[in-house]
Amino acid sequence: MVDILNNVDRSTEKSIIEELDRYQPELAEKIRDSMFVFEDIITLDNASIQRILREVDMKVLALALKGCSEDVSNIIYSNMSKRAAQTLKEDLEFMGPVRLIDVEKAQQQIVSIIRRLDEAGEIVMSRGGDDAIIV
């Protein structure tokens, strides 16, 4: 179920989870805990974020940041060089209005990169439980 939800647009994902929440709240909670969404970038360590940024096209990143929280954009900027962060901020300023579906697609592209890097063992994603402890 998590794989399916991770491959649909965010509005579909949200409506499915909300509906599941009405009938099987425990299952909905388990699925939520297993999913990684764009905003979860703030839970990653700096080295992982820097590794992800090396894989992401800056135009895709700018579009993804258009619809995110200040916390997410701040963690992204803090893991870039000052010059790259400034360029990205300028790109965002000049971008103008964009369609929400385009923002969601860009965010989904980045989440796909994150999942690929996680599966390859190139980044560390904490999912709670035994793997939450890093020594």
* Whether pLDDT at 120 is above 90: no
pLDDT, position 63:
96
CB 123 within 8 A of CB 134: no
Q: Classify residue 57 by its DSSP letter.
A: -
Write out pLDDT tens, residues 7-51: 777 678 888 988 999 999 999 888 877 778 899 899 999 999 999
pLDDT, position 126:
62
Q: In this predicted model, which residue has the larger pLDDT, 91 or 131? A: 91
pLDDT, position 128:
47
Q: Which tokens go with 31?
A: 């699925």
The percentage of the chain sitting over the pLDDT mark of 70, rounded to a whole number, equals: 90
Residue 26, phi then psi, degrees to nearest 5? -65, -40
CB atoms within 10 A of CB 31: 19
3-state secondary structure of 130: helix
Least confident range of 80-89, 99-108, 122-131: 122-131
